[in-house]
Amino acid sequence: MSDTKPTRWSYSSLSTYKSCPAKWKFSYIDNIPWDASPAMSRGTRMHKMAEDFVTGEIDFVPNEIKKIGPSLLLYKGLGASAEAVWLLDKDWKPTDVEAGNTWIKAIIDLHYVLDGVLYAKDYKSGQMYDEHRDQLELYGIMGLRLYPEVKRVETSAVYMDTGHEGVEGSIIRPMLPKMIDKWHGQAETMFADNDYDPKPGNACRWCPYAKAKGGPCLY
């Protein structure tokens, strides 16, 4: 185990912290490994299929993601980039791995620029949740910081089981200061926490660190 806090964050890590600070500690400070659930493994596999088609690694849409086949054909025709790594420093400015000052990291499933608008999309397996809108908002902010030539970012989630696109969002530059303040404050709160109090509830049934599963948590 380690007592060293991470120096960067992602939507996933912040979401974990907000759901349960103890789980965040076990995962991101103590680095206690855990096995992915069948649903998570399935989602990872479907993501890879979509990436491989868009990048040309395969020339067909696998049956498991056929519902989003028409969308993938469109994105590929538009020259979309797949699985791009977006990095910002603590001042919310673009950076790179070599600089060693990454504060925020995101992996964008698919994005492209068309007519001066940046489109960023995130693949989802399973159901639609309101939290997906929060994730896409963060990606929209990062997109505007990384692409100074665009005036607007359009975001949406692509639900692979249904072929439906949902939780669409639109972010323009005048919205940035207030949004950045919100996310910055949430991240600072996470890093300042030294108590890591657990939040027992229904989610404990699926937590890999739960006491019932032999994990280190008290619940």
pLDDT 10s digits, 78-113: 999 999 999 999 999 999 999 999 999 999 999 999
Q: Which domains can be identified in the chain, with CATH numbers?
A: 11-193 (3.90.320.10)
- Strand, coil or helix: 94: strand
pLDDT at 127: 87
All residues at 6 or more sequence positions from 3 whose CB lies less than 8 Å from its CB, including other chains: 29
Q: How many residues does the chain have?
A: 219
All residues at 6 or more sequence positions from 133 whose CB lies less than 8 Å from its CB, including other chains: 167, 169
Cβ pair 52, 45 in contact under 8 A: no
pLDDT 10s digits, 171-218: 999 999 999 999 999 999 999 999 999 999 999 999 999 999 999 999
Cβ pair 100, 73 in contact under 8 A: no
pLDDT 10s digits, 114-173: 999 999 999 999 888 888 999 999 999 999 999 999 999 999 999 999 999 999 999 999
